[in-house]
Structures are given as C-alpha cells and as structure tokens.
Structure 1
Amino acid sequence: MTALIEAQGLTLHYGRKQALDDLAFTVQPGRVVGLLGHNGAGKTSLMKALVGLHAAEGRLQVLGRDPYRDRVALLDDLAYIPDVAILPRWAKVSQLVTLMAGLHPRFSAERARTLLRRTSVGLGDTVKNLSKGMVVQVHLALVAAIDAKLMILDEPTLGLDVLSRKAFYEMLIDEWCDGQRSVLISTHQVEEIETLLSDVLMLNEGKLVLSLSLEDIDRRFVALGHDPAVADTMAAAHPLLRYRVQGGNAALFDGAPPPEVAALGQRLRPSLVDLFVALTRRPEINPSQPQ
C-alpha cells in the first residue's frame, strides 16, 4: 500500500534552535498513530510541518504531496485539529455547518448533522454558550464530516474532563476510522488512548526514539516483574528502566534478557507509559534506580 506519510531526513529549525532532527518514518493507511513526547520534544513542530505550516529540510510527502508547496491542494484530503479548538463564539452550530459546506468541497452537511446527534449539542446552540468539551465535540463533528484520507490531531482533548475525552475518542474511532483512513494523535493522556493505537511515534528533544506498531513493541520489549532480592542481578543486566509494580519491582529490557536473568522474573506486558519513561527520561529527573 502507498504510505499516507513518508518522511526521510526530516529536519526543522527555528533560527539556531533545532526542533526536529533527521526524522524518518512512514504512516500507512488504516492506522491510528500516537505521537508521544514531553513538552518541547517537537510534536507540534512535526504536525505543523505535516500540514504545511512550516517548511522543513529533508524529504516529506503527505498524501503524495509536498505539504509546504502544495498546502491548498493537500487540505482537500487532510483534516487538522490544532491544540486549541477555536470556533466563532457568535455563531450557531447550524451556521457553522452551512459555513463549512460553502468552504470545503468535500464536506458533507448531512454527515455533520448525523455526527452532532451523537453529542449533547443542538444545531440551534450558540458557541459562546457551550462548554469546552462541547466545543471540541462540535469541532470534531465538523472535521470528521470532511471526506479526508488523513486526520491530524494536536492534543485534541487538552483540558477536558474524563467523560468528555472518552466521548471524543469514541466518536473518532466509531465514525471516522474505517480501515483505510489514518489518524495521527498527539496527546499526554497515554494511558487513555493506548488501547486505540496501532502504532507509536515517540519524540525526545527533536529526535525520533521509537517508530513501531504495538505488535512489534510487544515482541521487542520485555518487562520482568521480580523479587527485590534479585534487584542487583537485574541491574547488572542493564535494563532500560527499573520501576515498581504492585507486589515488587520490574525491569524493562530492549530485547530478550539473558536466560539466567529471565528465569529470575515473571514476564509482564510493558505499558506505553513505562516505555515512554524509559526512552525519553532525563536521568536527573527519572533515575533508573527505583527510589
């Protein structure tokens, strides 16, 4: 299948500051990709490069186009929700549907109304009277009603309560992901979306430290729960991370540990949070030795 996103040697500078450093990855059709990284890791810079808001060095193709040169044409097939959902406060929801129908050639007003029926927002409601969670739901309904091939979401549920976040992701997966279209989601709520993801891109200080499917992550990384009495032996095997779990300690390895070490523990499934800490931690903030 033809990749929806292809990046090779992707580098981005703001003056002397390097925001992205030689990234290489692809996004295939039908994938739900989590973009993870600390604040300042380069997530938003990458998303802005993907939608043509910043020129970057290296090779970048999004839906077969150079996003910076062909941004207008690209946006016919790409949907983007930035980290702040901004809608005109004076407008009624019905007016926004009409406005979108006039602005975007691939927007379906009928589909937008269908999606809005999944929310508690009425067509006659005015934006200024909606909660933040409702505004985000309206924004998603409008964007998801565009017949696009790729959706890019930058912290789409930032500041929302847990119920609003759950409703957002349910609508996204149920109504937009169809096995052909792909979505790239930047988020700090790693635990909440882990079960939705098929792939992970992980950034640390502008560098891509992980680009893998969830299946390959489970095959590559090994976590062992172990008794504190064998902690020194585990440490001598140089795990990526040592951390606490209920009932004892755990060690996370990149690849299979030596058989004599594996025999001392019980294999656990490493969570994305554990892997994120292991690959992006700053030693002075997250020491590898459990405290």
Structure 2
Amino acid sequence: MENLVEVSHLSKAFSGQEVISDISFTLSGGQVLGLLGHNGAGKSTLIKILLGTLHYDGEVALLGLTPEKHRTKIMERVAYISDVSSLPSWMTIKQIINYMKGVHPQFDADRAKSYLQNTELKLQMKIVQLSKGMKVQLHLALVMATDAQILILDEPTLGLDLIYRETFYHDIQSWVQKHNRSMIIASHEVSEIEHLLTDVLVLKSGDVVLQGALDSLYEQYISISIPHENREKAEQYCPIYAKEEKGHTLMLFNNESSEALMALGQVSKTRLSDLFLAKQLGLNA
C-alpha cells in the first residue's frame, strides 16, 4: 500500500539546540498515529514541519510532495485541527461555508451542510457566538467536506466536555475509516485516544522513546497485577513500570514470558497510558 506520509531521519534545531532528533515513520491509508509526549517533547515542532512552516534536516514527504517546497499543493489534501480556533469570528456559518467553496478546490458545500444537520449549529449563527465545542464541530464539518487524505489533530478536544469529545472522536474515526485516510493525533489524553490508534510515536525531549504498531507493542509488553506478598519476587524480573493499586501492584515488563513471573500474579491487558508513563519516567525502560 502506498505511503501517504514518509518521514526519514528528521531532526530540527533552534539556535544550535536540537528539539527533535532522528525521527522516522511512515503512514498509509487507514493508519492512525498517536503522537504523544509531555509539553516540550517536540510534538508541535514535528507538526509544524509536516505542515510546511519550518525548515528541517532529513526527508519528509506528504502525498509524495515536500512540505517546505509544495505547501500550497499539499494543503489542498491535508487538513489540520488544533485546540485554538482559526475560524473568522465575524462570519456566519453560511458565510464560512461559501468562503471555503470559493477558496478550496476540493470543498463540497452540500456535504458540509449535511454534517451539520445533526448538530445544534444553524447557518445563520455567527462564529463569535459559538461555544468552543460548537466551533470544533463546525471545523470538523468543514474538514470532512474536503477531500483531505491526511488529517492532523493537535490537542483538538482540549477544554471540551465529555459529550463533545465522544461525538468528535466518533465522527472523525468513521470519516477516516470509511475513506481509508491517514491521521495523526497529538494529545495528552492518552487513555482517551487509545482506541482510535493503530500506531504510536512517543517523544521525550525530542527523542523517540517508544514507537510501533499498537498490536505489536501489546505483544511485546506484559502487565501483571502482583499481590503485595509477591512484590519482592516480581521485582527481580526488572519491571519497567510499577503502580500501586488497591490490594496489589501493577507491574509492566518488557519481553518477559517467564512462567514463573506469570505465576506471581494476574496477567491483564497492557494499557498505552502505562507504557507512556514507563517511557517518560524511565524506570528500567
């Protein structure tokens, strides 16, 4: 399958200080990449490079084109949604739809209106009057009404209530899967987006500390709930993460299939949030 995104040995420095280092990954249709890391990890820098607004070292291609050289062409097929609304507040919803129809060659105004039918949004409403959740709904409808092949989300649900977040992710997942698109989600809400992801890239101070297909990572790492009386024995197997829970300690192990270890507790499904914390805290990771 043809790759929609190709990144090879990507690095970026500001004033001689490297902020992302030697990042490589590819995405094809249907893949959803979780871009994870604390503030300052390099997520925003990577996104800006993909959107063609920063110079970089290495190789980057979206739809076979170089972002820095072909930004205008790429942005006809790449959509971007962040937690900061970029919609003109003085326009009505009808005006922004008409505007998009005039400036974006792939935009379908009728499709945008159809996406809004099941929301509280009305064409005569002014954007300045909309709540943050409504603005995100409108932005999503505008994006889905284009023929974008790649969608980049940067903390898109920050500050939204649970209902808006659930609706947003349900709609975006259906849209991506139906049309075999690629998506990149940068978020702090690891548990919230885990079910959407096929792949993950975790950054720490600009370096990749965890990367791969989620299914493969779930096979590589094992989570075991260890009763307190067995904790000392389990620690001999060098867990990469340990968390105290009611009545037991949750421990995460890397490539450990020992029957002796598994006999010390109950094996449970590995959670991406625990993997993320293990790689950020760096116990034995």
Whether TM exceeds 0.5 here: the answer is yes
Short-chain TM bin: over 0.9
The root-mean-square deviation of aligned C-alpha atoms, in Å, is 1.5
Please state whether the residue corresponding to 2:177 is helix, strand or coil.
Answer: coil
C-alpha contact 2:228 2:247 (8 A) present in aligned 1: no
Q: Say if 2:146 is the partner of 1:146.
A: yes
Task: Indicate the residue corresponding to 2:244 in structure 1.
Answer: 244
Residue 118 of structure 1, CA deviation = 2.7
- CA gap of 1:246–1:118, structure 2 versus 1, over 3 A, is farther
C-alpha contact 1:144 1:176 (8 A) present in aligned 2: no
Residue 262 of structure 1, CA deviation = 2.2
Q: Say if 2:107 is the partner of 1:107.
A: yes
Task: Indicate the residue corresponding to 1:182 in structure 2.
Answer: 182
- Per-residue CA deviation, residues 144-173 of structure 1 (Å, 9 max, x unaligned), is 111011000111111111111111112212
Residue 179 of structure 1, CA deviation = 5.2
Q: Where does 1:1-291 land on structure 2 (aligned, <5 Å)?
A: 1-178=1-178, 180-281=180-281
Residue 257 of structure 1, CA deviation = 4.4
Residue 79 of structure 1, CA deviation = 0.8
Please state whether the residue corresponding to 1:41 is helix, strand or coil.
Answer: coil
Query: In structure 2, how many angstroms separate the alpha carbons of the residues matched to 1:14 and 1:118?
Result: 45
C-alpha contact 2:237 2:261 (8 A) present in aligned 1: yes
Query: In structure 2, how many angstroms separate the alpha carbons of the residues matched to 1:71 and 1:6?
Result: 15
- Per-residue CA deviation, residues 107-137 of structure 1 (Å, 9 max, x unaligned), is 1101111111132111111111110110111
- CA gap of 1:249–1:232, structure 2 versus 1, over 3 A, is same
Range with greater deviation from structure 2 (129-138 or 249-258): 249-258
Q: Which amino acid aligns with 1:120?
A: E
Query: In structure 2, how many angstroms separate the alpha carbons of the residues matched to 1:3 and 1:15?
Result: 33
Residue 60 of structure 1, CA deviation = 1.2
Report the number of matched residues: 284
- The TM-score normalised by the length of structure 1 is 0.93
Query: In structure 2, how many angstroms separate the alpha carbons of the residues matched to 1:104 and 1:24?
Result: 31
Q: Which amino acid aligns with 2:35?
A: L
- CA gap of 1:54–1:158, structure 2 versus 1, over 3 A, is same
Please state whether the residue corresponding to 1:261 is helix, strand or coil.
Answer: helix
Query: In structure 2, how many angstroms separate the alpha carbons of the residues matched to 1:117 and 1:281?
Result: 46
* Aligned residues with identical type, % of pairs: 38
**Structure 1 residue runs of 4 or more that deviate by more than 6 Å after TM superposition:** none
Structure 2 spans left out of the alignment, 5+ residues: none
- Per-residue CA deviation, residues 197-241 of structure 1 (Å, 9 max, x unaligned), is 221111111111222222112111101111111111211211110
Query: In structure 2, how many angstroms separate the alpha carbons of the residues matched to 1:82 and 1:161?
Result: 16
Q: Which amino acid aligns with 2:71?
A: R
C-alpha contact 1:31 1:179 (8 A) present in aligned 2: no
Query: In structure 1, how many angstroms separate the alpha carbons of the residues matched to 2:223 and 2:208?
Result: 22
- Per-residue CA deviation, residues 7-35 of structure 1 (Å, 9 max, x unaligned), is 11100112122111111111121112211
Query: In structure 2, how many angstroms separate the alpha carbons of the residues matched to 1:180 and 1:166?
Result: 21
C-alpha contact 2:93 2:123 (8 A) present in aligned 1: yes
- The TM-score normalised by the length of structure 2 is 0.95
Query: In structure 2, how many angstroms separate the alpha carbons of the residues matched to 1:262 and 1:94?
Result: 60
Q: Which amino acid aligns with 2:135?
A: V
Please state whether the residue corresponding to 1:19 is helix, strand or coil.
Answer: strand
